[in-house]
Amino acid sequence: MTNARDTALDLIEFIDASPSPYHAAAEALRRLTAAGFTEVAPDGGWPSGAGRHVTVDGGSLFAWVVPDGAAPHAPFRLIGAHTDSPTLRVKPRPDTGSAGVRQLGVEVYGGPLLNSWLDRDLGLAGRVVVRTPDGLRTRLLRVHRPVLRVPQLAVHLDQDMRAGNGLKLDPQQHLVPMWSLGQPDDGAFKGFLGAELGVQAGDVLSHELVTYDLAGGTLAGLNEEFVSSARLDDLGCSHASVTALAAVAGQPAPQHVSALALFDNEEIGSVSATGARGAWLGRQLERSVLARGGTREEFLRAVGGSVHVSADMSHATHPNYPDRHEPQHQIALNGGPIVKMSANVLYATEARTHAAFLLAAEQAGVPVQYFVNRSGVRSGSTIGPYVAAGLAMPTVDVGNPALAMHSARELGGAADPAMLTAALRAFLAPA
């Protein structure tokens, strides 16, 4: 197995390079092309022969490895994860302010722990569409300096806090970042974007930008047992998935096609043009079959014999809140990957796929843990049930343990990234 510390540091590097879903897809693309994958345009012709291929569509990515001699109906061994994380997203017309302070209007994306975004130095990242003489062009933007901050109200002025009633935040009123002094200036933000991109403000047509904590990831704990970082959910599993696929790409198994799907918009329900709840994944899989001379029937045969691992971070047992967890399914940081199960199919794991992942973990020599909701408690879901239902593809939901999920800064185990990567690698290349 790769040195666990090196893998944890590589995960931190991956996350730090990925402040938005679009940057995460770009970083995954960079790593895969370095491993010999060839980029294919989403609207271009797809390759017909063996090889390693990857395509990016906004914040989503699909990569696949076709071995020599693979039949058009060869099944897929597919890993799925997602690139987005809960955050604050800049509104279309964000210029606002009061009390002599210029501010930017933001909208809550997903389900973040709102208090965790207070009193942090924030940057901006995402994509901007600009007008050029040759037509529209999409540009990635990253402002990696402290241009935004959401200051918390002092405790002396918060009677609820002083009375011990806890912090109460109204997203519309209390989460508006400061970015300058002066009166609101409609159009100032477009001017700022234009200056950052080196274009005229009038050529900035639209943007999808999120805030992010400027503090990078780090190893933490007395003996560096932990990874402390933003966006572990779900860049932790995205990193393991990309690393595993790159590792096995040079030794493809002739009996199946190894594939990876990184989706955007999981945190808001996966209903989007490139989300797991739509047609995007099925289109990528079918195109790869058709490009090899297959038919619709052969595509359906391929899907019928496929297995999907949905990889998304999961909850470690919180030492301060043990009563919130299922007592017979305690989960430890650095205890190995988790198989997630739900009687009500909030997770798509079933007996056959569960067994397939156990064999992969056994081959990799890593332990397996189990997440089950405490009875009477409903947890979140993943891309797993959507892929399973949309394609009738057998799926197992897995992940790595973490604390402070959906905080602006989460905490994971430093040994877990290498163990999940090893299990996913074995899943793609079974002995």
Q: Residue 424: helix, strand or coil by DSSP? A: helix
Superfamily in which the 87-213 domain is placed by CATH: Aminopeptidase i, Domain 2 (2.30.250.10)
What average pLDDT does this structure show over 382-400?
Answer: 96
The alpha carbon of 290 is separated from its chain's Cα centroid by a whole number of angstroms, namely: 29
Q: Can you give the residue ranges of every domain in the chain?
A: 4-85+230-428, 87-213
Angle of helix 416-428 relative to helix 351-364, nearest 10 degrees? 110
Calpha distance 404→323 (Å, rounded) = 16
Q: pLDDT over 70 for what percent of the chain?
A: 98
Calpha distance 272→230 (Å, rounded) = 24
Calpha distance 360→183 (Å, rounded) = 59
DSSP alpha helix (H) spans, 35-185: 159-162, 171-174
Domain 4-85+230-428 has CATH 3.40.630.10: yes
Long-range contacts of 365-368 (CB under 8 A, 24+ apart): 365/1, 365/422, 366/1, 366/336, 366/337, 366/419, 366/420, 366/422, 366/423, 367/335, 367/336, 367/419, 368/336, 368/337, 368/338, 368/339
Residue (of 339, 346, 350) closest to 398 by Cα position: 339
What's the whole-model pTM score? 0.95
Say yes or no to pLDDT of 324 above 80. yes
pLDDT confidence bin for 1, thresholds 50/70/90: very low
pLDDT confidence bin for 85, thresholds 50/70/90: very high
Number of other CB atoms surrounding residue 216 within 10 Å: 14
pLDDT tens-digit map of 352-373: 999 999 999 999 999 999 998 8
What pLDDT was estimated at residue 250?
81
pLDDT tens-digit map of 192-246: 999 999 999 999 999 999 999 999 999 999 999 999 999 999 999 999 999 999 9
The mean pLDDT value of the chain amounts to 94
